[in-house]
Chains A and B, each alone.
Chain A
Amino acid sequence: MKQIFDLFATFFRIGLFTFGGGYAMLPLIQELCVDRKRWLTPEELMSVTVIAESTPGPVAINCSTYVGWKQKGFPGALAATLGVVLPSFVILYVISQFLDRFLRITWVANAFRGIQVAVALLIGSVGLRMFRNLKQDLLTRVLFTAAFCAMLAIDLLSLRLSAIVLLLFGGGVGVCVWLCRKGKNGGDGL
């Protein structure tokens, strides 16, 4: 029981003191879970990060679930995940109750006009950084260009097509290309 509470408290701290989302949490997770509590080895943290990238959802949840499970099974995973989510939940719930009234103040509304530009640029800069980390080959470029144009068309022409369709298409093309190559290499020149 004590360890379950410890998991909850540690991840509560991680949730409360990191700004900027999942990847910004990794340094604190490393400090608390790897260096101090020795719940994870550095190699494990690395592999959790890799798994986090190939599974959907918030990176923080991947980490808390993995660490909690390793220490105390399902109750541990639940406690750690609850811990990392709770600060966000409480803070955003409280803010949501008065943001509307807050935005009706003229200078606040003006501040948020500037903030809107900042958010758009931020999203763009994150996208650019991710683009630079991509493996640059033909498949990547073709899929990137196709998805970029499709997403712009969906938005600007208000098409009723979900981005999820684009994601499924991208993943599907990746698998098809792999299967074709496999067929060519394994089939003795067929």
Chain B
Amino acid sequence: MILLELFLAFLQVGLFSFGGAYSAIPLIREVVLSHGWLTDQALVDMIAVSESTPGPIMVNMATFVGATQAGLPGAIAATIAVVLPSFVVMLLVVRLLHPYLEHPGVRAAMHGLLPTVVAIILATGLVLLLRALFPNGFSGGVSWQDCVIALILGLSMLLPARRGKKPSSVRLILLGAGLGVLLYGI
């Protein structure tokens, strides 16, 4: 039953993604790869679309995956599932749990959780970069075009970072698109 599978999978994503949309990416990747819903390449296309459209990125990703797997009902099931945990947890927090957030035990759990989240995000970024640079596997050789793109994009990210600003993700994606067309042809 695809709707139930989508619902349960995204419930898991909504329940375990601490610290914003990027912590959901490794979890969503795990879900779509293990169910065979998307390939790594389709997943990254979907992340780019979710980044460049308005709204919460996690909701965008859930709607997209749900819609491609099971149409409108799938989109509804995945979106409700990804939103539900934080909706319920927030209601519990405002009604009952507010004092417990300051509890040293909760903070100790967060102290262990946060470095794990960051490590998972960084490892996923590295793996996706390697997959882009070696499109046919490690034995298939490196793609020089993608190396040039990575180099230029990397340099373009250093500039705003040095001024202490966050590089704009939409601008980076557009620059990547332009370089892709330029190096691979129209």
Contact = CB atoms under 8 A, between A and B. Distances in A.
A91 interface: yes
Chain A interface helix/strand/loop/mixed: helix
A130 B72 CA distance: 35
Contacts of A87: 54-55
Contacts of B111: 135, 139-140, 174, 177-178
B127 A156 contact: yes
Interface string A97-140: 10110010011001111111111111111111111001100011
Contact of B25 (A89, A123, A146): A123
Interface SS of B by simple majority: helix
A147 to B, nearest CB: 4
Interface of A: 15-23, 25, 50-51, 53-62, 65-66, 69-70, 74, 77, 81, 84-85, 87-89, 91-93, 95-97, 99-100, 103, 106-107, 110-131, 134-135, 139-141, 143-148, 151-152, 155-156, 162-164, 166-167, 169-175, 177-179, 182
A59 B56 contact: yes
A57 B170 CA distance: 22
Contacts of A89: 59, 63, 75, 79
Nearest to B41: A116
A57 B75 contact: no
A116 B48 contact: yes
A130 B53 CA distance: 23
Contacts of A134: 114-115, 118
A29 to B, nearest CB: 12
A18 to B, nearest CB: 6
Interface of B: 12, 14-22, 25-27, 30, 41, 44-45, 47-60, 63-64, 67-68, 72, 75, 79, 82-83, 85-87, 89-91, 93-94, 101, 104-106, 108-129, 131-133, 145-146, 149-150, 153-154, 157, 161, 166-170, 172-173, 175-181, 183-186
B54 A19 contact: yes
A123 B131 CA distance: 14
Given A54-B106, A69-B94, 6 more contacts: A57-B85, A85-B55, A93-B67, A120-B150, A123-B124, A178-B104
A53 B116 CA distance: 14
Nearest to A155: B127
Contact of B90 (A20, A51, A129): A51
